[in-house]
Amino acid sequence: MDTEPDAPVTEADLHAWMDGELPEERRGEVERHLAGNPDLARRFDRYRAQRAMLQDTFGPLIERPLPAALVPPYARTAGRPAVRPRRWLPALAAAAVLLVFVAGGAGGWWLRGW
Rounded CA-CA distance 51/95 in Å is: 50
Round to whole Å and give the CA distance between 86 and 75.
Answer: 14
Confidence of residue 77 (pLDDT cuts 50, 70, 90): low
Residue 105's SS3 state is helix
Instruction: Count other C-beta atoms under 10 Å from residue 13's C-beta.
Output: 21
Confidence of residue 74 (pLDDT cuts 50, 70, 90): low
Average pLDDT for 36-51? 93
